[in-house]
Chain A
Amino acid sequence: MKLSSAIAHRNIVIVGNPNAGKTLLFNRLTGLQAKTANYPGVTVDFREATAKLAGESFQIIDLPGLYSLDAISPEEQITRDFLTGAANAEITSPDLVLLVLDATNLRRNLFLASQVLELSLPVVVAVNVIDVARSRGIDVDIDSLSSRLQCPVVAVSAKTGEGIRKLEEQLVKATRSEELISEPLPSCTSGCKGCHFAARHDWAQKVICDSTSKVSSTSTVPFEMDRLLTHPVFGVVTFVLLMLFVFYMIFSFATLPMNLIDGAFTALGGWLREVIPSTKSRPAVWFGVVMMCATVCGLLICYAARIRFTTFRTLVLLAVATTVSLLPAKELQSLLADGVVTGVGGMLVFLPQICILFFFISLLEDSGYMARAAFVMERIMRCVGLPGKAFVPMLSAHACAIPGIMSARVIENWRDRLTTILVLPLLTCSARLPVYAMIASLLFLGSAMKAALVFVGAYLLGITAALCSAWLLKRTILPGEAIPLVIELPEIRWPSLRNALLTLVDRAIIFIRQAGTIILLISVFLWVLASYPQLPEKDAANILLQHSGENTAAQRLAQAEIEYSAAGRVGRFVEPVFAPLGFDWQINIGVMTSFAAREVVVSTLAIVYGIGEDAAENKTTLIETLRRQKRPNGSPVFTTATSVSFLVFFVLAMQCLPTQAVTRRETGSWKWAILQFTFMSCLAYLASLATYQLCCLWGLG
Chain B
Amino acid sequence: MAPLSLSEITVPGLFTVVRVEGDGVSVIQLKRLGICEHQIIELVQIGNPAIVRVAGSRIGISRIVIESVYVEPYLE
Residues of A within 8 A of B (CB): 67-68, 70, 72, 105-108, 111, 194-195, 197-198, 201, 204, 226-227, 230, 232, 371, 374-375, 378-379, 382, 481, 483-491
The 10 A-B pairs with the shortest beta carbon distances in the complex, nearest first, are: A484-B62, A197-B31, A68-B32, A107-B56, A375-B60, A485-B62, A197-B36, A486-B29, A489-B58, A107-B55
Bound Cα distance from A228 to B3, whole angstroms: 31
> Contact between A67 and B65 (Cβ–Cβ < 8 Å)?
no
> Contact between A489 and B45 (Cβ–Cβ < 8 Å)?
no
Give the distance to chain B from A390, nearest Cβ to Cβ, in Å. 15
Interface residues of B in 4-42 (CB under 8 A from A): 24-26, 28-34, 36-39
From B38, which residue of chain A is reached at the shortest CB distance? Answer: A198
From B32, which residue of chain A is reached at the shortest CB distance? Answer: A68
Bound Cα distance from A70 to B39, whole angstroms: 20
Bound Cα distance from A195 to B49, whole angstroms: 26
B36-71 contact mask (Cβ, 8 Å, vs A): 1 or 0? 111100000101110100011111111011000000
Bound Cα distance from A425 to B48, whole angstroms: 30
Residues of A within 8 A of B26 (CB): 483-484, 486
> Contact between A378 and B62 (Cβ–Cβ < 8 Å)?
yes
Residues of A within 8 A of B62 (CB): 378, 382, 484-486
Bound Cα distance from A233 to B20, whole angstroms: 31
Q: A195-B37, A489-B57 are in contact. List 9 more A-B contacts (CB 8 A).
A: A67-B32, A108-B57, A195-B36, A198-B31, A198-B36, A198-B38, A379-B49, A486-B62, A488-B60
Bound Cα distance from A378 to B57, whole angstroms: 20
> Contact between B37 and A489 (Cβ–Cβ < 8 Å)?
no
> Contact between A67 and B58 (Cβ–Cβ < 8 Å)?
no
Residues of B within 8 A of A483 (CB): 25-26
Interchain CB contact (< 8 A) of B51 among A105, A194, A230: A230
> Contact between B64 and A197 (Cβ–Cβ < 8 Å)?
no
Interchain CB contact (< 8 A) of A72 among B29, B47, B51, B65: B29
Give the distance to chain B from A75, nearest Cβ to Cβ, in Å. 13
Give the distance to chain B from A385, nearest Cβ to Cβ, in Å. 13
**28 interchain pairs, CB-CB under 8 A:** A67-B32, A68-B32, A105-B56, A108-B33, A108-B34, A108-B55, A111-B32, A111-B34, A197-B36, A198-B38, A201-B39, A375-B49, A375-B51, A378-B49, A379-B48, A379-B49, A483-B25, A484-B26, A484-B61, A484-B65, A485-B60, A485-B62, A486-B33, A487-B61, A488-B33, A488-B57, A489-B57, A489-B58
Residues of A within 8 A of B34 (CB): 108, 111, 201
> Contact between B31 and A195 (Cβ–Cβ < 8 Å)?
yes
Give the distance to chain A from B12, nearest Cβ to Cβ, in Å. 12
From B51, which residue of chain A is reached at the shortest CB distance? Answer: A230
From A231, which residue of chain B is reached at the shortest CB distance? Answer: B45
Interchain CB contact (< 8 A) of A70 among B32, B45, B57, B60: B32
Residues of A within 8 A of B56 (CB): 105-108
From A108, which residue of chain B is reached at the shortest CB distance? Answer: B55
Residues of A within 8 A of B32 (CB): 67-68, 70, 111, 197
> Contact between A232 and B59 (Cβ–Cβ < 8 Å)?
no
Residues of B within 8 A of A204 (CB): 55
Residues of A within 8 A of B33 (CB): 67, 108, 486, 488
Given A105-B57, A375-B60, A481-B24, A486:B39 Cβ within 8 A: no
From A112, which residue of chain B is reached at the shortest CB distance? Answer: B32
Residues of B within 8 A of A (CB): 24-26, 28-34, 36-39, 45, 47-49, 51, 55-62, 64-65
Bound Cα distance from A108 to B48, whole angstroms: 24
Residues of A within 8 A of B29 (CB): 67, 72, 486
Give the distance to chain A from B40, nearest Cβ to Cβ, in Å. 10
> Contact between B28 and A198 (Cβ–Cβ < 8 Å)?
no
Residues of A within 8 A of B24 (CB): 481
> Contact between A486 and B55 (Cβ–Cβ < 8 Å)?
no
> Contact between A72 and B57 (Cβ–Cβ < 8 Å)?
no
Residues of A within 8 A of B25 (CB): 72, 481, 483
> Contact between B57 and A198 (Cβ–Cβ < 8 Å)?
no
Give the distance to chain B from A553, nearest Cβ to Cβ, in Å. 68
> Contact between B58 and A488 (Cβ–Cβ < 8 Å)?
yes
Give the distance to chain B from A111, nearest Cβ to Cβ, in Å. 6
> Contact between B28 and A230 (Cβ–Cβ < 8 Å)?
no
Residues of B within 8 A of A230 (CB): 45, 51, 60
> Contact between A485 and B49 (Cβ–Cβ < 8 Å)?
yes
Residues of B within 8 A of A197 (CB): 31-32, 36
Give the distance to chain A from B51, nearest Cβ to Cβ, in Å. 6
Bound Cα distance from A486 to B49, whole angstroms: 9
Given A108-B33, A201-B39, A378-B49, A489:B55 Cβ within 8 A: no
Residues of B within 8 A of A72 (CB): 25, 28-29
Bound Cα distance from A489 to B57, whole angstroms: 7
Bound Cα distance from A486 to B6, whole angstroms: 14
Residues of B within 8 A of A490 (CB): 57
Given A72-B25, A198-B38, A201-B36, A486:B57 Cβ within 8 A: no
> Contact between B51 and A486 (Cβ–Cβ < 8 Å)?
no
Residues of A within 8 A of B31 (CB): 195, 197-198
> Contact between B51 and A489 (Cβ–Cβ < 8 Å)?
yes
Give the distance to chain B from A463, nearest Cβ to Cβ, in Å. 24
Give the distance to chain B from A222, nearest Cβ to Cβ, in Å. 10
Residues of B within 8 A of A106 (CB): 56
Bound Cα distance from A378 to B49, whole angstroms: 8
Given A108-B55, A201-B55, A232-B47, A371:B36 Cβ within 8 A: no
From B37, which residue of chain A is reached at the shortest CB distance? Answer: A198
Bound Cα distance from A201 to B51, whole angstroms: 20
> Contact between A70 and B58 (Cβ–Cβ < 8 Å)?
no
> Contact between A486 and B48 (Cβ–Cβ < 8 Å)?
no
Residues of A within 8 A of B55 (CB): 107-108, 111, 201, 204
Bound Cα distance from A382 to B62, whole angstroms: 10
